[in-house]
Structures are given as structure tokens and as C-alpha cells.
Chain A
Amino acid sequence: MNLRPDLAIIARHVRAGARVLDVGCGDGDLMAALRDSRGVDARGLELDATNVALAMARGLPVIQGDADTDLAGYPDQSFDYAILSQTLQTARAPDRVLDDLLRIGRRAFVSFPNFAHWRVRLSLLWGGRMPVTRLLPERWYDTPNIHHLTIDDFRAHLRERAITVEGAWFLSGDKSTSETAANFLAEHAVFLLTRNPSA
């Protein structure tokens, strides 16, 4: 199976046999890959009923629900990892979703498109238009992305909330970019986070 680049990074770094909650799991690509290649016990949460049905047909336990409202019922620290891929920017309250992820999971993987990528900057600077790019393909009125953020925004937020970064990967297409220029060169980013660095 060909996983999206950010999912491939996550899949490579999840410990075999772990318990994983994939929030916004789509039709279950990552869950299936984790289950089949690493014996991971993966559970999913997904908003779209069609995606839930597709994931269920693959034998994946997926619950139709919303990251903004349906994470409350999951017990504290009940998963080794909580994963939120390309979903943070669609949440009504992304900071609260992040808090929930770090409450439910001992660690959290979070990936998101970087709104400070140079193509996005150029589109705004020269075109004066909201960017429509490969990772942000929708126009301003039909995009589900209601809380755009940049890699530096996210880093600042993590510092403010005293969240520990255990790993970070920056991608342009499927190629890695350097950490220092990431906020300019990376189309999207993957962070591995925790609130219990000793755990």
C-alpha cells in the first residue's frame, strides 16, 4: 500500500504491538498499515459516514464522530499513541483537541499543512489570493481548513503549553526538508509530542 508521506513517517515510528487511536482516520489506510505490518491494535474516529463504512469493511474498529466533541469519552492515557493527521486545521478548537490527544495518548503524532510554505506566501504576496495548492486544494469558501497554522505557530504553541517534542519531520512532497528552514520550505510537518517525557 502506498501511504501518504506523513502517514508513512508515522507508520515507521509507531512501536510494534502498540495501542493506537487514529483521530480523523479517513477510510483507515494508516490503521490497516499499522495493523498489518506492526501488529498494532488500532482504533479510529472519523467524521464521514462513507469513510467509516469503508474502514469497517476492512475490519477496522472505527467510530463515526468529531474530534471536537467525541474525544471526551476516551479514558486518560488509554492509548500508546493518539494520531491526528491533517485534521488539526479543521477543528473548531484545535488547542483543545491537542490537549485531548495528549490526555488520551501517552504520545501524540500530529501532522498538518504548513501555511507559511513559500508557495502559499507567494500566492498571497503576488497574487493577493488565498492559496490553492496540492495540499490545500480547496478554495476559500469550500475548504474544511478553518484554522490555518504555520510550523512556527505550532512550535510557539507547544512552548506555551510546555508540550515536549520528541520528534519532528518536515516534508516537501515526499522529500524531507531541513529543520531550520522548515517554516519556509516544508509543505507539511509531522510532530511526535508528549506531556510525560519520562513515560
Chain B
Amino acid sequence: MLTTASPALDQRFGLARRVTLPGPLRLDSGALLTPVEIAYETYGTLAPDGGNALLLCHALTMDQHVAGPNPRTGKPGWWTRMVGPGRPIDTDRFFVVCANVLGSCMGSSGPASIDPATGREYGMTFPVITIRDMVRAQAMLLDHLGVARLAAVVGGSMGGMQALSWAATYPDRVAAAVVIASTARHTAQNIAFHEVGRQAVMADPHWRGGDYYGGEPPAAGLAVARMAAHITYLSEAGLTEKFGRRLQAREQKSFGFDADFQVESYLRHQGLAFTDRFDANSYLYITRAMDYFDLAEEHGGLLAHAFRGTGTRFCLVSFDTDWLYPTPESRSIVQALNAAGAPASFVELSSPYGHDAFLLESPELERLVAGFLRAAA
């Protein structure tokens, strides 16, 4: 063991941690990544037998600050209603780990990291990564933390893809998996929306083939990418309820191309705010990883094969207005789990908020997750 100190004093545990693991990490592309930097946070206390560890996997543009304050913005974590003492993912009970995914820009290795071979940012020389590569990097982190087996892995959206990939890649290390508003593969439509975003970034003259570090970043392109993506996270009813055709701070249309409509102003704000916190190249790499995700393809074309002989208990949740990863995607995962004989629970929740519902207030979701984890993990 690395340490015999009490867990409270163990430097591996706590908020805003970062570790450099020597690797190498062999990626799906065949490339080797050395070293592997991982930024992460832990909450709660790892039980002496290591049996209470729970891995939280974050979505595309999220970060490791799931329940602790974000040190850069000072804002509370992005899932505080779900994670914390006495919350559904109870940090009094679980030792919760959340790591920034590989390819991202919040402290883990990604295109904005320094390539030790050149002393400069990787940019587009960073290897293309997959969801399974993210999971392998997380497994390296858990080895470092002394966690052999997870009581549960939990994730929404891209986090759910990681949870599925965890169960398929390391079946012996996962007792339970919670997969919320997610999918086992990106559809043509999913890929199409991502490609719009990537092309918007690449069309920005500041992108310069990804070699913009130290100069002006491709903020305009990234903002457009975020605007397009943001629409897919909402529902038509949600947009109508929030904005309708209402005009933005004016009595009548301007007969010009200002943000006349509130929805335009909102999207522009979302796009701009995003560029302050996210690296454009990371956006390219992570969306690519999501597009490449097809769990069935990794297992001979049959999704059920991904779960053959699994002992993991599964909990899947979809939302009825989510058109990014609609309920039939979850249902096909459930069918594969049934075919594999895996114990699975699934429920479709009702919400007006589309894909984003999993991050918003949802007492039903909180009750479900709490109940499932109380019983299963």
C-alpha cells in the first residue's frame, strides 16, 4: 500500500486532487498515452474493506466538482441535489469518486495538456480517445486509490455511457450500475449534431488546426457549437414555456439581426458563457469519443454480448421528453440485459425539460436512485 496513514490525512483523498500516473495507457486507437494526468475529487470515507466506493461519471462538458464547490467559479457542484450527506448518493455511506474524463480540460490529460515529447500543448496531436479509454483511465485512478471493486458506478448522458462501458469492460469490478438519460450507441442524428458543432469550431479562423494555445481561441466557433448542442438538451415544450416567441428587451421586431427573440439571446449567452470554461479542442475530442461509442459493435454486433454472464445490477432511467437519447435507446439496453439474464430495472420518468431533466430538480429521480442504491449497492 502507498500509505498507512488514516484516510482523513491521506493526500489521495479530498477535493481538487490531481495525480500523474506513469501509464502507459493503451488506447483503443492503438496509441499509448504517457503519462496520464487525472484530476478528481473524493467525498466520504473509503471503508477499511474498500467496499463502499461509488464512481460518478460526468457528462460531456461537466467536471469532477460534482458536489464540492468549483474552485474556478466558486459555484456549488453540478449535482449537489443528488450527491452529499443524506442525499440519494449519500456521502455518509459511500466513498464517492468523480474524475475529469480523459480528453477534457479541467485537469485531466487532454489536447490542452503539455506533450512531454515536445514541451508544447498536444493540440490535435493528442490521440483520439474513446469512452472505453475514459473508463480505462478511471480504472487506473481507482487502482491508485486502492479501490478494487465499485459498489456502484453512476452517470447521466455521457456519464451513463461510461457506466455501461464500465459494466462491460470490468464486470467483476462493478456491483451496480445506474445509467440515466443515456444510450448504448450514438445514432446518425447524434453524430450529425456533433459534426455541426465540430465544423463550427474548425471554421473559426482562430482554430488554426487546433494550434491556438497562447493566442486567441476559436471562441466564436465553440459558442456556435454549444448553441446547437444546447438545443438538443432541451425540449420544444420546454423552450416554448421558457421563451415562446417573446421578444428580448424590446417592444417590436427590429427588422435586423440582433437577438430580437429571447430564445436567441439565451442561446447566445449559453454559447459565450461556455467558451469561458471549455477548451475547443477538448470539445472536438470528447464529441468524437461519444460518436465512436457503440457498445454492441465492441461485442460482435450484439449488445447482449456486452453483458453476458454479468453479475452487475442495472438501473436505467429515461425521460419522456428527451429526444437526444430517447426512451427506445434505454429500452434496447434493457432488452439486451434481459437477453443476458442480468438483473435490470428501468423506468421512464415524465419531465418537461428534455435531456437536461437529469440535472434538474426531479424528486422522482432522487427517490429512484436512493431506493436502488439502498437496496442494491
Which residues from chain A sit less than 8 Å from chain B, CB to CB? Answer: 41, 43, 49, 52-53, 55-65, 70, 73-75, 78
| A41, B364: Cα distance in complex, Å | 26
| A98, B276: Cα distance in complex, Å | 59
Chain A: minimal CB distance from B311 (Å): 12
Q: Which of B338, B339, B349 touches A49 (beta carbons < 8 Å)?
A: B349
- Which A residues are in CB contact (< 8 Å) with B344? 43, 61, 63
Q: Which of A56, A60, A63, A73 touches B368 (beta carbons < 8 Å)?
A: A56
Chain B: minimal CB distance from A63 (Å): 5
B376 adjacent to A59 (CB under 8 Å): yes
Which residues from chain B sit less than 8 Å from chain A, CB to CB? Answer: 313-315, 331, 334-335, 338-339, 341, 343-350, 364, 367-368, 370-372, 374-376
B372 adjacent to A56 (CB under 8 Å): yes
Q: Which of A49, A56, A58, A78 touches B315 (beta carbons < 8 Å)?
A: A56
- Which B residues are in CB contact (< 8 Å) with A59? 371-372, 374-376
B368 adjacent to A61 (CB under 8 Å): no
- Which B residues are in CB contact (< 8 Å) with A62? 345
Most A CB atoms within 10 A — which of B344, B345, B371? B345
- Which A residues are in CB contact (< 8 Å) with B338? 63, 73-75
B367 adjacent to A61 (CB under 8 Å): no
B313 adjacent to A61 (CB under 8 Å): yes
B375 adjacent to A52 (CB under 8 Å): no
Closest chain A residue to B339, Cβ basis = A75
- Which A residues are in CB contact (< 8 Å) with B343? 41, 43, 61
Chain A: minimal CB distance from B304 (Å): 9
| A49, B375: Cα distance in complex, Å | 18
Chain B: minimal CB distance from A174 (Å): 30
* Additional A-B contacts beyond A52-B346, A53-B367, A73-B339 (7; CB < 8 A): A52-B345, A57-B371, A57-B374, A57-B375, A59-B371, A59-B372, A59-B374
Interface CB pairs A-B, < 8 A, 15: A49-B350, A55-B345, A56-B315, A56-B345, A56-B347, A56-B371, A59-B374, A59-B376, A61-B344, A63-B334, A64-B346, A64-B347, A64-B348, A65-B331, A75-B339
| A74, B304: Cα distance in complex, Å | 11
Going nearest first, the 8 A-B pairs with the smallest beta carbon separation are A59-B375, A57-B371, A73-B335, A61-B343, A52-B347, A63-B346, A64-B347, A56-B345
| A64, B347: Cα distance in complex, Å | 5
Closest chain A residue to B368, Cβ basis = A53
- Which A residues are in CB contact (< 8 Å) with B334? 63, 65, 73
Chain B: minimal CB distance from A59 (Å): 3
Q: Given A73-B335, A75-B339, verify A57-B368 contact (CB < 8 Å).
A: yes
| A33, B335: Cα distance in complex, Å | 26
A49 adjacent to B347 (CB under 8 Å): yes
Closest chain A residue to B336, Cβ basis = A73
B371 adjacent to A53 (CB under 8 Å): yes
- Which A residues are in CB contact (< 8 Å) with B364? 49, 53
| A126, B130: Cα distance in complex, Å | 72
A57 adjacent to B345 (CB under 8 Å): no
| A153, B218: Cα distance in complex, Å | 72
Most A CB atoms within 10 A — which of B339, B364, B371? B371
Closest chain B residue to A73, Cβ basis = B335
- Which B residues are in CB contact (< 8 Å) with A52? 345-347
B372 adjacent to A57 (CB under 8 Å): yes
| A168, B344: Cα distance in complex, Å | 31
| A73, B302: Cα distance in complex, Å | 13
Closest chain A residue to B327, Cβ basis = A64
Q: Which of B313, B349, B375 touches A58 (beta carbons < 8 Å)?
A: B375
A61 adjacent to B345 (CB under 8 Å): yes
Q: Which of B313, B341, B367 touches A57 (beta carbons < 8 Å)?
A: B367
| A64, B318: Cα distance in complex, Å | 11
Most A CB atoms within 10 A — which of B348, B375, B376? B375
